[in-house]
Chain A
Amino acid sequence: MLVTALLSGLVLGGTYALVAMGLTLQYGIARIMNLAYGETIIAAAFLAYVLFNGLGINPVLGLLIAVPLGFVFGYLVYGLMMRPLVRRAKSRETLEIDSILATFGLLFVIQGVMLVFFGSNYTSYSYLNIGVSVLGTTIAANRLLAFALAIVLGGGLYLLLTRTLWGTALRAVAVSPTSAPLVGIDVERAARTAFAIGGALAAAGGVVISMYQTFTATAGVVFTMKALIVVIMGGVGNILGALFSGLLLGLVETFVATYVDPGLTLAATYLIFLAILLWRPAGLFGRSAR
């Protein structure tokens, strides 16, 4: 029982981590609190559904289409909507409020467009829904794939950010946007790239989620919330933090469901989240001084 709970918790957490990594980039580096993040995820899920059901393209190949589209979408959104706000913002607080409002609007626009195209029905398809035996427990192949993708993408991103000059520049912007230009970093370009990568990760998350979960055009908020919780827990802008807290959250949910009461999983999530906020307001991996 313990091994089962542990494994399914990790697998569940893998999805949370994958979804949260994009948001942590968008908020940590681009400084945009993107409330429409979940809608991007759902849009990608619909794309995967259409590709799979209409054209017979399997979701893993679908990733190759969805991820670049997500990147372009993020790039455009930042360039058209966010840049004017960033330029106009006098302080971080004003930008935060402006971006919350603007992306809240964007949330409705994307959701509305999806409602017009797909209606409000529950959508799902069946892909790789077979059991795989791991350490004596059976786990769905599609969830295992999701977990693997989360680790690969997260690990790759982490290496990219820590081992390349380009990644270091991005991280410099996250740490200190005011002094980054002093060392010749184009903050705006870095922010836009980070936002676009965030969009690409959201798209990846959407495709992965669509492989095993039912979704509706209006379900985006749930994902935004889960992602936000993971981001805050892990520390804003911290990829490794997002990965770790995503897994932690998955474990907590599964353990509570197994050993306490399935009815308290969500309550436990929020409780832990609130506790971490109070205990370490900058997140488990965040620096205490911002």
Chain B
Amino acid sequence: MTARTLLGLLVAGLVLAALAALPLFAGPYAVTLMIGMTGYVVLATAWGLFSGPTRYVSLATVAFFGIGAYTVGVFSETLPYPLVLLVAALIGLAVALVVGLSTLRLAGVYFVIFTFGLAELIRQLVTWYEVNVTGTLGRYIFLPVTPEGIYWQLLALAAATFLFSWGIGRTRWGLALKVIGDDEVVASHCGIDITRLKLALFAVSAVIITLVGAIQAPRWTYIEPSIAFNPTISFLTLIMALLGGADRLWGPLLGAIPLFLLFEWLSANFPNHYPIILGLVFIAIVFLLPKGVLAAVESRLRKGGAR
């Protein structure tokens, strides 16, 4: 390990500690804001973890997010909390493996639509099961988890996600991942089973997303499929990751934070015109920052350096 990476880790650790200490001196609204923001940062980063290198645009985010949330709804009364999270992660993993094995040969827009359909399918099946087997639809979650607790859990998850993302970039697999999006044949020459690698990435990304859902769910008290499987979550995650630049470690973070704050500001100040402004912002992003914020900043810097 070089001195530079050590320094980097140290700085990251300090930032993390500072963020973790935030609830101690900031108000409850700040904590709420941070929960939402950290949630989307993790979602977008986890999304980028799989979709960045493979260029598979996935809309299955909410499928896993919802699985996490719903698992908490089902088991919150019967199992201790850490075990609930574990069960959620395992279910997410199992679904991800089944889905990954069957779909990773689909390409381009077919994969996009498939993942969207998957989210809807899971939602319909959960609804049908609840209606016909258990006879109730809503699930109550009365867990004694404080907002601070949720925030800290999300923060830990964020740290783990970044660590994983960063760590994998330093391995042989990382090398294969760098070329996988451009040319799978070249990538396979790194001596790596590409399919297995893609599957593994999809699974890890899915488990992280599942955990976000599971951690956030206690905030809502009440869960039903339409709440847990809200398709906007998939879209927002996608947009955030792409805005920042999905193929870079910090890209999704840089997309999630400004967009999240923008949405918050818009819904507070322009509740009636929120969709219009949101839409215009989107279009502007596509036209002005086609490769994401990070790439734009980098090219700007490079130009400045050359001058």
A277 to B118, CA, bound (A): 12
Interface of chain A: mostly helix, strand, loop or mixed = helix
Collect the chain B residues with CB atoms within 8 Å of residue A148's CB.
Answer: none
Q: Which residues of chain A in 191-223 are interfacial with respect to chain B, using CB atoms and an 8 Å cutoff?
A: 221
Residue ID in chain B nearest A81 by CB atoms:
B283
| Interface range on chain A (Cβ under 8 Å from partner) | 35 or more
Residue ID in chain A nearest B132 by CB atoms:
A263
A158 to B235, CA, bound (A): 34
| Interface range on chain B (Cβ under 8 Å from partner) | 35 or more
Collect the chain A residues with CB atoms within 8 Å of residue B287's CB.
Answer: 84-85, 102
* B273 part of interface (Cβ distance < 8 Å): yes
Interface of chain B: mostly helix, strand, loop or mixed = helix
Comparing B119-127, B147-155, B172-180, B215-223, the segment that makes contact with chain A is B119-127
Q: Known contacts being A93-B55, A101-B242, A102-B286, is A274 close to B275, with CB within 8 Å? A: no
* B117 part of interface (Cβ distance < 8 Å): yes
Pick the contact of B278: A108, A261, A274 (CB < 8 A): A108
What's the least CB distance linking A198 to chain B, in Å? 16
Collect the chain A residues with CB atoms within 8 Å of residue B107's CB.
Answer: 281
Collect the chain B residues with CB atoms within 8 Å of residue A101's CB.
Answer: 239, 242, 282, 285-286
Collect the chain A residues with CB atoms within 8 Å of residue B106's CB.
Answer: 277-278, 281
Cβ of B57 and Cβ of A97 under 8 Å apart? yes
Pick the contact of A271: B102, B114, B121, B277 (CB < 8 A): B121
Cβ of B282 and Cβ of A111 under 8 Å apart? no
Cβ of B275 and Cβ of A273 under 8 Å apart? no
Collect the chain A residues with CB atoms within 8 Å of residue B127's CB.
Answer: 263
* B258 part of interface (Cβ distance < 8 Å): no
Cβ of B279 and Cβ of A105 under 8 Å apart? yes
Cβ of A112 and Cβ of B239 under 8 Å apart? no
Cβ of A102 and Cβ of B283 under 8 Å apart? yes
Q: Known contacts being A85-B286, A112-B279, A278-B102, is A92 close to B108, with CB within 8 Å? A: yes
* A106 part of interface (Cβ distance < 8 Å): yes
Collect the chain A residues with CB atoms within 8 Å of residue B121's CB.
Answer: 267, 270-271, 274
A275 to B55, CA, bound (A): 23
Collect the chain A residues with CB atoms within 8 Å of residue B273's CB.
Answer: 112, 116
Cβ of A108 and Cβ of B117 under 8 Å apart? no
Mark interface residues in B43-66 (1 if CB within 8 Å of A CB, else 0): 000000000000101000000000
Residue ID in chain B nearest A268 by CB atoms:
B124
Mark interface residues in A86-104 (1 if CB within 8 Å of B CB, else 0): 0010001110111011101
A111 to B273, CA, bound (A): 10
Collect the chain B residues with CB atoms within 8 Å of residue A104's CB.
Answer: 235, 239, 279, 282
* B110 part of interface (Cβ distance < 8 Å): yes
What's the least CB distance linking A24 to chain B, in Å? 12
Collect the chain A residues with CB atoms within 8 Å of residue B132's CB.
Answer: 261, 263
* B134 part of interface (Cβ distance < 8 Å): no
Q: Known contacts being A101-B242, A108-B276, A116-B276, is A270 close to B120, with CB within 8 Å? A: yes
A85 to B107, CA, bound (A): 21
Residue ID in chain A nearest B105 by CB atoms:
A281
A16 to B192, CA, bound (A): 44
A112 to B275, CA, bound (A): 5
Q: Known contacts being A102-B283, A225-B120, is A267 close to B128, with CB within 8 Å? A: yes
Residue ID in chain B nearest A265 by CB atoms:
B124
Pick the contact of B282: A102, A267, A270 (CB < 8 A): A102
* A45 part of interface (Cβ distance < 8 Å): no
Residue ID in chain B nearest A114 by CB atoms:
B275
What's the least CB distance linking A237 to chain B, in Å? 12
Cβ of B125 and Cβ of A105 under 8 Å apart? no
* B131 part of interface (Cβ distance < 8 Å): yes
* B109 part of interface (Cβ distance < 8 Å): yes
* A25 part of interface (Cβ distance < 8 Å): no
Collect the chain A residues with CB atoms within 8 Å of residue B284's CB.
Answer: 105
Cβ of A273 and Cβ of B57 under 8 Å apart? no
Collect the chain A residues with CB atoms within 8 Å of residue B55's CB.
Answer: 93
Mark interface residues in A257-271 (1 if CB within 8 Å of B CB, else 0): 000010110110011
Q: Known contacts being A112-B279, A116-B276, A278-B102, is A96 close to B109, with CB within 8 Å? A: yes
* B281 part of interface (Cβ distance < 8 Å): yes
Collect the chain B residues with CB atoms within 8 Å of residue A112's CB.
Answer: 273-279
Collect the chain B residues with CB atoms within 8 Å of residue A273's CB.
Answer: 117
Collect the chain A residues with CB atoms within 8 Å of residue B272's CB.
Answer: 115-116
* A61 part of interface (Cβ distance < 8 Å): no
A102 to B112, CA, bound (A): 16
Collect the chain A residues with CB atoms within 8 Å of residue B239's CB.
Answer: 101, 104
* A12 part of interface (Cβ distance < 8 Å): no
Cβ of A106 and Cβ of B110 under 8 Å apart? no
Cβ of A270 and Cβ of B124 under 8 Å apart? yes
A27 to B113, CA, bound (A): 13
A33 to B109, CA, bound (A): 8
A71 to B114, CA, bound (A): 29
Other CB < 8 Å A-B pairs besides A96-B109, A236-B109, A273-B117, 19 of them?
A85-B287, A100-B112, A101-B239, A102-B287, A105-B280, A105-B284, A108-B282, A111-B275, A111-B279, A112-B274, A232-B110, A261-B132, A264-B128, A266-B120, A266-B124, A271-B121, A277-B113, A277-B117, A281-B107
Name 22 interchain pairs, CB-CB below 8 A, sorted by A: A85-B287, A92-B108, A97-B57, A98-B290, A101-B282, A105-B286, A106-B283, A108-B282, A111-B275, A113-B276, A225-B120, A232-B113, A263-B128, A264-B124, A270-B118, A277-B110, A277-B114, A277-B117, A281-B105, A281-B106, A281-B107, A281-B110
